[in-house]
Amino acid sequence: MKYLITIIGPTAIGKTSLSIALAQEFQCEIISCDSRQFFKEMRIGTAVPTDLELAAAPHHFIQNKSIFENYSVGDFEKEAIPKLNELFKTNDFAILVGGSGLYVDAILKGFDSFPDIDTSVREEVNTKYEQHGISYLQDQLALLDSNYFKKISLENPQTLQNPQRMMRFVEVCIGTGKPYSSFLNQAKNNRNFTPIIIGLEAERSVMYDRINQRVDIMINDGLLAEAEKLYPHKELNALQTVGYRELFAHFDGESTLDFAIEEIKKNTRRFSKRQLTWFKRTENAQWFDFETDRKTIINYIQSNIIYNS
Give pLDDT tens digits for 231-262.
Answer: 999 999 899 999 999 999 999 999 999 999 99
For residue 187, is pLDDT > 60? no
Q: Which of 183, 215, 235 is the last residue of a domain?
A: 183
What would the mean pLDDT of 160-164 be, rounded to a whole number?
90
Task: Based on the fold, state whether residues 87 and 140 are members of the same structural domain.
Answer: no
Any domain includes 128: yes
**13 marked among binding-site residues:** yes
Per-residue pLDDT band for 116 (boundaries 50, 70, 90) equals: confident
Among candidates 112, 8, 95, 15, which has minimal Cα distance to 59? 95
Task: Give residue 183's pLDDT.
Answer: 84
Residues 69 and 104 in one domain: yes
227 belongs to an annotated ligand binding site = no
**Closest by CA position to 30, among listed 11, 66, 54:** 54
Residues 9 and 63 reside in one and the same domain: yes
Query: How many domains would you assign to the chain?
Result: 2
The residue out of 183, 200, 216 marking a domain boundary is 183
Is residue 87 included in any domain, yes or no?
Answer: yes
281 in a domain, yes or no? yes
Check the annotation: does 15 bind a ligand: yes
**Over the chain, what is the mean pLDDT?**
93
Q: Does 172 fall in a domain? A: yes
Is 258 part of a structural domain of the chain? yes
By residue range, what is the domain housing residue 140?
A: 119-183
Give the pLDDT band of residue 308 (cuts 50, 70, 90).
low
Query: What is the per-residue pLDDT for 200?
Result: 98
Does 14 carry a binding-site annotation? yes
Angle, CA 8 vertex, CA 165 and CA 304 arms, to 5°: 130
Statement to judge: residues 37 and 106 lie in one domain: yes
CA nearest 227: which of 29, 23, 45?
Answer: 45
In angstroms, the Cα distances linking 26 to 9, 32, 51, 181, 298 are 21, 17, 21, 41, 9
Whether residues 102 and 192 share a domain: the answer is yes
* Residue 10 marked as a ligand binder: yes
Residue 308 belongs to some domain of the structure: no
| 115 carries a ligand binding annotation | no
Residue 68 scores a pLDDT above 50:
yes
- Would you say residue 309 lies in a domain? no
pLDDT digits (tens, 9 = 90+) for 204-238: 999 999 999 999 999 999 999 999 999 999 999 89
Residue 188 has pLDDT above 80, yes or no: no
Q: pTM (2 decimals)?
A: 0.79
Domain identity same for 223 and 268: yes
99 is in an annotated binding site: no
- pLDDT at residue 241 in the model: 93
174 and 41: one domain?
A: no
Statement to judge: residues 8 and 85 lie in one domain: yes
The answer to the question of whether 178 is labelled as a binding residue is no
Q: Give the mean model confidence (pLDDT) for residues 189-207.
A: 93
Residues 152 and 219 in one domain: no
Greater model confidence, 59 or 73: 59
164 has a pLDDT exceeding 80 = yes
pLDDT of 209? 97
Whole-angstrom distance, CA of residue 207 vs CA of residue 147 = 37
Domain co-membership, 179 together with 193:
no
For residue 193, what pLDDT is reported? 95
Whether pLDDT at 293 is above 90: yes
Instruction: Output the 3-class SS for the chain.
Output: CCEEEEEECCCCCCHHHHHHHHHHHCCCCEEECCCCCCECCCCCCCCCCCHHHHHHCCEECCCCECCCCCCCHHHHHHHHHHHHHHHHCCCCEEEEECCCHHHHHHHHCCCCCCCCCCHHHHHHHHHHHHHHCHHHHHHHHHHHCHHHHHHHHHHCHHHHHCHHHHHHHHHHHHHHCCCHHHHCCCCCCCCCCEEEEEEEECCHHHHHHHHHHHHHHHHHHCHHHHHHHHHHHCCCHHHCCCCCHHHHHHHCCCCCHHHHHHHHHHHHHHHHHHHHHHHCCCCCEEEEECCCCHHHHHHHHHHCCCCCC
Q: Is residue 223 part of a domain?
A: yes
pLDDT at residue 186, rounded to an integer = 63
> Tell me, what's the pLDDT at 211?
97
Q: Which among 183, 201, 232 is the end of a domain?
A: 183
Q: Within this chain, do residues 221 and 280 fall inside the same structural domain, yes or no?
A: yes
**113 or 170: which carries more pLDDT confidence?**
170
Share of the chain above pLDDT 70, in %: 97
Q: Rounded to whole angstroms, how far apart are CA atoms 32 and 103?
A: 10
The per-residue pLDDT for 56 is 97
Do 141 and 282 have their domain in common?
no
**Per-residue pLDDT band at 309 (split at 50, 70, 90):** very low
Q: What is the CATH number of the domain that holds 218?
A: 3.40.50.300
